[in-house]
Structure formats: C-alpha cells, structure tokens
Amino acid sequence: MSPAPLTVTWGLVAVLIVIALTLRIRTWLRLRHIPGPPIAGITEFWLLRKTLSGRCHIDLLEACKKYGSLVRIGPNHLITDDPEVLRRMSAVRSPYRRSIWYDGLRLEHDYFNVVSERDENRHNDLRAKMAAGYAGKENEALEESINANVANLVRLLESKYLSIDKEYKPVDFALKSQYFTLDVISSIAFGKAFGDLDADDDVSSLIQTSEETLPMIVLLGAFPFLANVFFAYPFKLLLPSDKDTVGLGKLIGIAKEVAAQRFGPNKKVKKDMIGSFVRHGLTEREIRGEILMQIFAGSDTSAAAIRATLLYIITNPHVQSILLKEISDTSISSPITDAEARKLPYLQAVIKEGLRIHPPATGLMLKEVPPGGDMVNGVFVPGGTGIGWSTYGLMRNVKIWGDDADVFRPERWFEGTAEEIRKKEIDVDLAFGYGKYQCLGKNVASLELNKVFVELLRNFEFTVVNPAEPWKSFNAGLWIHHNMGLRVTKREPKL
C-alpha cells in the first residue's frame, strides 16, 4: 500500500478518536458537579462490574453513604435513596419518563411488555386494561387459588421433608418457595397451576430459564443501547423461539399456547386474570407477552420476599415467639383469610420489616429527567439524565429508619406518632414502586405474604442448616437464591 492511503487511514482513525474523546469529555462535564466514584463519570464499566458482581445493591448503598443522596454512577447515570425524589419521579403527572434502561427488560424482540414499555400512552393503556385482573376484582377464586397452593406447600413439606430424631431430610426452601409462587401465578393467571409443588420439580424449567436469562438482562441494563442491536436482524435469528423445547423459547411457547386458547371460535372463557385481560381489550399478542412478564417478575420477587422474611423470622427467636403467640392467641381460620391476617398487627409489622430489610427488587429503574432539566435536592440535573433507584440504600438509610437500620426489628412499626408510622409505611411501600409505575402484582404478593408465614409457622418448626451461610445469594436487580437448607420438624401442638 502506498503512503498516501495509509496517511488517510490513520488520519481517519485519529479523527474518530478525537471525536469519541470529545463526546466523552462533554458527557463528563454535564454532571461533573454531582459526586460519585471518579471512574463512573467516564465509563459505564464501573456500573457493569458492580452489577456482574452480584452485590450491586450493596455497592449502591455504600455509594449513597459516602457521596450523599444523589450520586453519579455512570456517564449519564445517577442514583438516589431519597424517597421524596423517588415518589416525585414516578408520580402520575410527573414529567419524568422511563429511560433507555428499560429497553433491556424486553423478553421478546418484537414486544414491549408493561414493565419495559417506554411510550407513556401505551404503558398507561396496558395498565388500565390489566389493573382489574391483578386486583382480583374479576377473579372470584383469587384467594381460594392462593389458599390451595399454600396447602400444597404445607403438604409437600409434611410428606417429604419432615425430619425426626433418627431421620434427617433437609429441604432447599429457595426452590420450594419458587415452586409455590410459580404455581400461584399460573393458577390465578390462567386457571391451572404449573404443578411444581405436586411434582416437587421445576416441571417447565422456568426457574432455570429465569436464572439463565437474568445475566443477559443485567448486561443490557448496563449497556441498554445493546438491546436494539441484540434484538435486531440478524441477531434476532439466534434468539429463543416458541419451537424450542427448553429455556426461554419453551416458555414463549407456553405463553403462546395459553393466549391462543382465549381467542378464536373455540375460545375458553374463564373468570381468571387472563379472562379479565381479554374482557378489557388486550389482544392475543399482548396477552402472550404479558404472561411472560408475569412469570418472570411475579414469581421471582414474591419468592425472594418469602425466603428472606422467613429466614429473618426463624433466626430471631424473640420475633418468632411474639408472632407465634399472636397466631395462637387469635381465633383465625385454617388457612388464614386475608381479612384476618390484616388484623394481626405483629404479622403485618413482620411483613413490612421483611420488605424493608430485603426488598425483593433492587434494579436501577432509571427514569429520564425532562428536557428542561430539574432541581433535585438543590442540585440542577440536566435534561436527558437517567436517575435510578437505590432501593436497598433507601431501606437501610439511617436518616429514615434510625441507627439500627440494618437490624430486622418489627417493633419499629409501632414506634412514633401515628403520622410518623404512616410515613414509614409509605416509604416501605416503595418496595413495590410508586405511582404510574407501581407493581401491578402488589395485591397478589400481599395475599401470598399474609398467608404463607402463618401457615408455615403454625405447622412447622424450622432450623437453618448452615447459619454461617444460610443461602447462596446473587443479586441481578432480582434475587437468585440457592441452597437455603432448612431442617423441618412438626410443630406440636399445631397452632
């Protein structure tokens, strides 16, 4: 090659390098007045490395402790643990919008579900059509379906995992709790449980699929522009298909089959969650996409809340004894009804404290600052900046919860004036999101939590197999828990 073309080539390379550096410097300058880890203002790799470590929730908490309630964690990314800011961003009439971060939450290349949809009009339309189904207003058997699955969980533990003096049968409760939540969401969504509890197995490989999919979601969340590449031609040809017999493709096939049953000349008409969606105008394609989202988001988060809260109960003898006394001293049904559970003050305090100490979803959920910019805690933030949630930081913030914020102590929910207690309840409710982005499954999750602890504790005594490492835990915005070994014995007399 002659010198002239080489000179031109190297010249172009130099120009591209200069342009890239200029753009990066301009990006850094926009938010240079907001503190954070120095490298985070230059590259997304700080956030990616922390996320892939499985403990990003702790790193973000520590960043808020070190730098304040508004922290820079990326070239265009901030986080906050301030509940007032979080509520303002997600309020119904807020000018904030979902950022590009949500593009990575797609489970199919051609469909944005209610969790990943960034178009405000379509998002609001989806929520409006789905709200009644999630609230249970059109599902007469909602509570009965949850009761049946709670009974199945009790039956499974009693039939296969009871230990006695001469027989030791440890149970991995991490798995069993997710069998329970998968059976709940499938039974109330389309009228038939997957059957994980009956089979004592991940019969459709949904747990395996979820755990395999989460790392990719983590990557696309840190580098959301990759989502548009990943889901585009020709890469989309390599994506899971409904013809697959394993993994996400198998789950897509299940969702497609279930959705198809509700349309056409021989359609099934049921008074379940999907039946409500159909009556309110969701299309077959939309229902297929929302079923996928339900299974991923609904089962993972509820299972995480159940595991964590039960672990904190059984490792705090003081808490467990008070809760058991409340259960035994109160005339309640078997299984306990939702109405009865809401009247048990210590149970409600335990549930709230479980959501606080171990929030089931800790993803960034970045919202985009409106074009004109905004003042956040006295600091100007330019338009287009993404501000995310440090949910774990919020729930461990000593300014809100006191010096013992790291302690599981349900008694905090009885301390202070009525107004102060109500403020704490509003803050912990942020575990479910807020306003126009609040989790649609909150009602279902509350029903599960109101029932499962009472029924487990009135039937069984639990001992942690390995107190030094009660489980193996990885956080990817959602929790992956393994090896939660418990020794289960029959509680005598039954409460």
The three-state secondary structure class of 361 is strand
* CA separation for the pair 365, 89 (Å, rounded): 11
* CA separation for the pair 340, 143 (Å, rounded): 13
CA nearest to 297, candidates 89, 468, 438, 192: 438
Q: Write the DSSP string, 74-111.
A: ETTEEEE--HHHHHHHHSTT-S-EE-GGGGGG-SBTTB
* CA separation for the pair 259, 335 (Å, rounded): 32
Paired sense of beta strands 70-74 and 77-80, if any: antiparallel
Q: Write the DSSP string, 301-333.
A: HHHHHHHHHHHHHHT-HHHHHHHHHHHHHS---
Only one residue has tokens 């199945």, namely 152
Chain mean position to CA 313 = 21
The single-letter code of the amino acid at 447 is L
Please answer whether residues 101 and 388 qualify as being in contact, where contact means their C-beta atoms are separated by less than 8 angstroms.
Answer: yes
* CA separation for the pair 220, 213 (Å, rounded): 11
The response to whether 439 counts as a known ligand-binding position is yes
Q: Write the DSSP string, 364-386.
A: ---EEPPTT-EEETTEEE-TT-E
The three-state secondary structure class of 135 is helix
Residue ranges for the known binding site are 439
Output the known binding site for heme.
439
